[in-house]
Each structure stands twice: as C-alpha cells, then as structure tokens.
C-alpha cells in the first residue's frame, strides 16, 4: 500500500436552507493512495459531487480535515485555494466546460497561464497534452467544431497539461454514447496506468467504474462500501 495522497477525516458538509439544516455529508473518513483510480458511485443526491468538490478544493467542509498531497486545504482562503488548485488539481466535467471562443489548444493552455512558463514552453506542453489524448490534429478547432468525445478529450488535455497531483472527474462520460464513453474511459485508464495519474471519478455507470482500480459507494451522504477491482 503506497502513501495516501488524499485523506479526509471526520468531514461533514451541511447546507442551511432557511431554518432547515441539510446534512449532505455525514462525518466520513477516506483515504486515496497515490496512483489509485477511484470510481465514486451511488444514487443521485447521495453527495458524490459534494465530496468530489471537497477533494478538489472547490468547496470547504463544514467540519473535518481534508489533506491532499500532504497539505491541509480545508482552512485555506479562497484566494490561496485557487492558487492551490492551479498547481494540484485538474478538473474534467460532464459537459466539458470548454470556453467556446477559444480553440482547442487555447483551452488546453489556460492552466498554464497561471504558471511562469514561457510562451514556447507552454506551446510545447499543450502539444504534448493534445498528443496524449490523440487530438494533435484538432489543435486549431473551436469546441463547436468538435464531437462530444473530442471535446471531452480536449477537456482531459486541459486537466492534465499542468501536471497536477490529482485528476478529478465528475461524470466524464455522462453525456457520451457507450462507444465514445469507453474510449474516454480507456484514455483515463491509460493516464492512470502509464502516466501514474491519481484519478477520482464520479460515475453512475457500473461499466465505467470497472475501468477504475477501486470503487466506492455512497448513500445518503455516507460511504457504504469500498472495494478494489481485480
């Protein structure tokens, strides 16, 4: 068992709607090892996205500790957290969230604008990332000129271009057909196996979860079952 790259201890998340307090996450502990590809499953509303957002530093827990890459991130200011995310997390969303006015390569370059890399270095990283996702020939295309699967590949290239500690994917294949989904999942698997990327992926799809190394099931804000894929 390698060292834990993500560890949560006693993490809860509540929302207050009027006087009503909604407990979205019950106190939970979680540990993800370096090099894991974790599939987070569970019914709708069980808190998967909420948990993923805490791991990715998009949101703060109501209580508990969140450690990622040896750093506590649950106490950081939003400014520090933004900076932290730019170094440590790559995000992949269900609807790709590419910027419509930018070409594929400009979209991929975005996280690098937050680094001190020169223009030439950025171009090199962008080319490599597009190469990895198999879209080197689509660099100049706008998102509207790409298929769903291609758009998601661009989004994955964007997520990995700055070489983050962690890839965080919320239903990355939720908007794709079976065949395209399998290609994307295959790509994520390759990133995990050959490039050693630690990936946390939320999915509804049991077939998608089979690509992961581990599965985790949630229900009503609690982790209920953890298993390793064989």
Binding site for Mg ion (CB under 5 A): 49
Can residue 87 be called a binding residue for another protein (CB under 8 A)?
yes
Name the segment binding another protein (CB under 8 A); options: 26-34, 38-46, 54-62, 208-216.
54-62
Can residue 80 be called a binding residue for another protein (CB under 8 A)?
no
Q: Which is nearer to another protein, 4 or 102 (CB)?
A: 102
- Cα–Cα dist 36/15, whole Å: 30
* Residue 10 CB-density burial (10 A; 0-12 exposed, 13-18 middle, 19+ buried): exposed
Size of the site for another protein (CB under 8 A): 29
Q: Which of 10, 15, 101, 226 binds ligand ATP (CB under 6 A)?
A: 15
Indicate the helix (H) or strand (E) that contains 226: strand 222-228
Contacts of residue 206, defined as CB under 8 A and 6 or more positions apart, other chains included, come to 41
- Cα–Cα dist 81/38, whole Å: 23
The Cα angle at residue 177 between residues 207 and 226, in degrees rounded to 5: 20
Can residue 95 be called a binding residue for ligand ATP (CB under 6 A)?
no
Size of the site for ligand ATP (CB under 6 A): 12
Closest-CA residue to 90 (of 175, 13, 161): 161
Can residue 100 be called a binding residue for another protein (CB under 8 A)?
yes
Q: Which is nearer to ligand ATP, 83 or 222 (CB)?
A: 222
Contacts of residue 224, defined as CB under 8 A and 6 or more positions apart, other chains included, come to 42, 217, 218
Q: Which of 4, 24, 102, 110 binds ligand ATP (CB under 6 A)?
A: 24
Q: Which of 3, 22, 29, 101 binds another protein (CB under 8 A)?
A: 101
Q: How far is the CB of 158 from another protein (least distance, A)?
A: 8
Q: Is the dihedral of CA 174, 44, 74, 29 positive or negative?
A: negative
- Would you state the structure tokens that stand for residue 161, as one six-digit string? 């271009």
Can residue 47 be called a binding residue for ligand ATP (CB under 6 A)?
yes
Using CB under 8 A, list all residues that contact another protein: 49, 53, 56, 58-59, 78-79, 82-87, 91, 93-95, 97, 99-102, 110-111, 113-116, 158
Binding site for ligand ATP (CB under 6 A): 15, 17, 22, 24, 42, 44-50
């Amino acid at each position: 068992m390698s060292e834990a790259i993500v560890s949560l201890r006693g993490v809860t998340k509540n929302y207050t709607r009027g006087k009503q307090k909604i407990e979205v996450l019950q106190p939970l502990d979680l540990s993800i090892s370096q090099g894991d590809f974790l599939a987070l499953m569970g019914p709708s509303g069980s808190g998967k996205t909420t948990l993923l957002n805490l791991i990715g530093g998009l949101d703060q827990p109501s209580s508990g500790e969140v450690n990622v890459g040896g750093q506590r991130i649950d106490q950081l200011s939003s400014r520090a957290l933004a900076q932290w995310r730019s170094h440590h997390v790559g995000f992949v969303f269900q609807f790709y969230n590419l910027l419509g006015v930018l070409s594929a390569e400009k979209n991929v370059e975005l996280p690098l604008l937050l680094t001190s890399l020169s223009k030439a270095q950025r171009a090199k990283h962008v080319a490599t990332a597009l190469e990895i996702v198999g879209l080197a020939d689509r660099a100049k295309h706008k998102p509207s000129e790409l298929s769903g699967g291609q758009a998601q590949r661009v989004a994955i290239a964007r997520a990995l271009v700055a070489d983050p500690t962690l890839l965080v994917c919320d239903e990355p294949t939720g908007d794709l057909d079976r065949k395209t989904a399998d290609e994307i999942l295959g790509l994520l698997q390759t990133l995990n196996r050959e490039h050693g990327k630690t990936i946390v992926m939320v999915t509804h799809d049991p077939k998608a979860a089979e690509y992961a190394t581990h599965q985790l099931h949630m229900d009503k804000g609690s982790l209920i079952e953890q298993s390793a894929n064989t």
